[in-house]
Amino acid sequence: QTTRRFEFNVEWKNVTRLCHTKPLLTVNGEYPGPTIAVHEGDDVEIKVTNSIAQNTTLHWHGIRQLRTGWADGPAYITQCPIGGGKTYTYKFTVINQRGTLWWHSHHSWQRASVYGAFIIHPRMPYPFSVPIQDEFPIIFGEWWNGDIDSVESEMMKYGGGPDISNAYTINGLPGPFYNCSNKDTLINTVEHGKTYMLRIINAALNDELFFAVANHTLTVVEIDAAYTKPFKTKAIMIAPGQTTNVLLTATQVPDSSGMFLMAAWTYLTSVFPFNNSTTAGFLQYKNPMSTDHMSKHPKKVTIFDPVMYNFPQMDDTKYYTKFDDNLRSLSSPRYPCNVPKTIHKRIVTVISLNLQDCPANKTCKGYANKRFYASMNNQSFVRPTVSILESHYKKLKKSQYSTDFPEKPRRPFDYTGVNPIAKNMNTEFGTKIIQVPYGTNLEFVLQGTSFLNVENHPIHFHGHNFFIVGKGFGNFNVSTDPAKYNLVDPPERNTVAVPSGGWAAIRFKADNPGVWFIHCHLEEHTSWGLASGFIVQNGHGPSQSLLPPPKDLPSC
């Protein structure tokens, strides 16, 4: 058994992008943060030192944390934050997982700059036979010229967006479409005829993105660290929180620049005046015959029009839906698809934005002079000030949560209408979560609404992977839709993009004792309350029980 040790120092570092220099929160001074690379089965220890005045926590997104919920990271869910000047060592084992995941801060909006790749090399050879020449991380993010704390507090104070970032980035670089950014452009070098693996991560705070490479086809082989049946596509769609591995074969004959554009641009269901920016880099062909007259600088590009490249446009829901339908578990003898065929419990939850009247003498920037909140079953999640996991483990009487989350919408609903003001816009505030016995086969139906729903909600579950057994537009119908579920090879993920104005049904076995956060990975929506959680109780014996807390676990 190998133990891989990492030291992460959370610290400020002056970083310049778009000709703005500002202190940026980083790990070890790197932006994006360092890549963690381990092997399937390894023990991992990451010693985190907090060298800033504010609190912090780190989360290993998609790592199951079997029985080690103490190392999961969401602030006040599984741990109290690491205070300024303090350290905490996250310890866990990577059990039966392989592929591309990522890590990020799970405290306030720190993940705007505190994130990086988490790569698990498989124990077995890849299930596809093409030899891989090399691999690249492709991590999308967002850059703000201003300070992220003030973006966050404005958004909470006025209850509205859009909280537009100044640029999207690939590997921290905005690329050639932004002013003052030509030199901050990612260039990946490839050789003609060779195949590369792109480990694509969407770490952006608030946007789903299309990604494509001019003149090249991508073969999707893995999503959220689970192998898929390989399929070819021009573009992929990736929501915040999700990861996608694709293979790319350098088949083209390049022009004298040797460059092909790699671009990521926003997906929205209709073209809005905001969020229309695009980040890009280049694939550069190595040409052994004429290396020296190849240009060292990317082609100057000023306007991005997806049509010019034969890419889908930003509101191409048809393209996206088709892409999504192609995602299927590999479902092979070595990597079987363990989707529960039967369930013990179905939880139907509406996920929605909500509106609240603006307090007197206040300014609100939501919709129709009101402010936004967000909820699950009209319940806006309020983060406690002590760790739920600790309260649960110690069976504290004075805990700040209750286990009475409403398991179906509390009022009849119809969210298919086009009227932007849907029914049942009000929300209640509290820390209500779900509790189930060890081994429960759970189904969640996540029902989106039609209210101002211009984007999908990427709903992320901690501590478990799930299978997306069904998806559709309009209202979920409990008497007809379950009959159409895919229980053969549904995609396995940790984050599902619930279609705008539609629903997604997911299933999994709750076999990881602990407390697990559920939330929208659009950071703005989480802040407004689109979150909940679930407790999985201990089963029989130590192998089905949560481990005791580590000695250095921070206290509140």
Q: Which residues bind ligand C2O (CB under 6 A)?
A: 59, 61, 74, 104, 106, 241, 460, 462, 517, 519, 521
Question: Which string of b and e fits 466-479 if b means at least 16 CB within 10 Å?
Answer: bbbbbbeeebbeee
Q: Which residues pair with 278 in a beta bridge?
A: 265
Name the amino acid, one letter, at 178: Y
CB of 6 within 8 A of CB of 33? no
Residue among 313, 213, 216 at smallest CA distance from 266: 313
Residue number with CB closer to ligand C2O (62 or 448): 62
Q: Which residues pair with 457 in a beta bridge?
A: 498
C-alpha span between 169 and 536 (Å, rounded): 37
Residue number with CB closer to ligand C2O (229 or 383): 383
Name the amino acid, one letter, at 512: N
Residue among 525, 464, 482, 475 at smallest CA distance from 499: 475
C-alpha span between 410 and 446 (Å, rounded): 14
C-alpha span between 184 and 402 (Å, rounded): 48
CB of 492 within 8 A of CB of 329? yes
Q: Which residues contact 101 (CB under 8 A, 6 or more apart)?
A: 60, 61, 62, 63, 117, 118, 119, 120, 224, 225, 243
Question: Which string of b and e fits 438-463 if b means at least 16 CB within 10 Å?
Answer: bebbbbbbbbbbbbbbebbbbbbbbb
C-alpha span between 289 and 191 (Å, rounded): 12
Shortest spacing between CB 527 and ligand C2O, in angstroms: 12
Residue number, nearest CB to ligand C2O: 61
Task: Tell me which residue has tokens 């300014």.
Answer: 363
Residue number with CB closer to ligand C2O (245 or 526): 526
Shortest spacing between CB 508 and ligand C2O, in angstroms: 16
Residue number with CB closer to ligand C2O (171 or 526): 526
**Beta carbons within 10 angstroms of residue 255's beta carbon:** 10
Shortest spacing between CB 425 and ligand C2O, in angstroms: 26
Residue 390 parent element (H or E):
helix 388-393
C-alpha span between 26 and 183 (Å, rounded): 21
Residue number with CB closer to ligand C2O (116 or 254): 116
Shortest spacing between CB 186 and ligand C2O, in angstroms: 23
Shortest spacing between CB 462 and ligand C2O, in angstroms: 6
Residue number with CB closer to ligand C2O (107 or 392): 107
Residue number with CB closer to ligand C2O (61 or 464): 61
Shortest spacing between CB 84 and ligand C2O, in angstroms: 22
Which residues of 268-339 form beta strands (DSSP E)?
278-286
Shortest spacing between CB 104 and ligand C2O, in angstroms: 6
CB of 50 within 8 A of CB of 87? yes
Shortest spacing between CB 517 and ligand C2O, in angstroms: 5
Residue number with CB closer to ligand C2O (509 or 519): 519
**Beta carbons within 10 angstroms of residue 411's beta carbon:** 11
Residue number with CB closer to ligand C2O (78 or 279): 78
C-alpha span between 78 and 392 (Å, rounded): 10
Q: Which residues pair with 27 in a beta bridge?
A: 10, 30
Shortest spacing between CB 73 and ligand C2O, in angstroms: 8
Residue number with CB closer to ligand C2O (106 or 199): 106
Shortest spacing between CB 61 and ligand C2O, in angstroms: 4
Shortest spacing between CB 531 and ligand C2O, in angstroms: 9
Residue number with CB closer to ligand C2O (216 or 462): 462
Q: At 107, phi and psi to the nearest 5?
A: -135, 130
